């Protein structure tokens, strides 16, 4: 799950560099977190690099949407009522929700 988190920073930076407001930067982060939060980390290898590549492309999409004031709304998956709640939701998903998934992935990888 964490292999794409850098992409939220990319979306924020791209939005800022394109002249986006603070609200638009938050919207870009919301868009990318809402889009990519289901990505599963399966270890640092070629598949991780591909996921980061997908995340970078998604960062461009999230930026363009935010600059046009198009943002995922609360209730769209894990998206909260504001950026802080969305980030907390991602943290909860990573900490609690992925516990069993991590164990399953490790079991598959160590066969």
Residue 44 has pLDDT above 80, yes or no: no
CB 94 within 8 A of CB 1: yes
Q: Which two tokens stand for residue 110?
A: 């160590």
pTM for this model (two decimals): 0.89
What's the confidence (pLDDT) of residue 99? 80
Higher pLDDT, 64 or 104: 64
Tens digit of each residue's pLDDT (9 = 90 or more) over 48-61: 888 888 999 999 99
Cα-Cα-Cα-Cα torsion 27, 29, 30, 35, nearest 10 degrees, comes to 130
* DSSP secondary structure letters along 33-82: HHHHTTPPP--SSHHHHHHHHHHHHHHHHHHHHHHTT--PPTTSTT--SS
43-47, 60-64, 81-85: segment of lowest average pLDDT: 43-47
Task: Give the pLDDT of residue 1.
Answer: 61
């Amino acid at each position: 799950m964490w292999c794409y988190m850098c992409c939220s920073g990319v979306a924020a930076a791209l939005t800022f560099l394109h002249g986006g407001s603070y609200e638009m930067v938050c919207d870009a982060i919301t868009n990318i977190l809402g889009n990519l939060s289901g990505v599963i980390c399966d270890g640092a290898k070629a598949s991780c690099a591909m996921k980061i590549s997908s995340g970078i492309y998604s960062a461009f999409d999230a930026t363009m949407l935010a600059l046009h004031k198009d943002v995922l709304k609360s209730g769209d998956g894990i998206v909260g009522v504001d950026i802080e709640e969305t980030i907390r939701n991602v943290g909860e998903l990573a900490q609690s929700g992925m516990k069993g998934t991590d164990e399953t992935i490790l079991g598959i990888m160590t066969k």
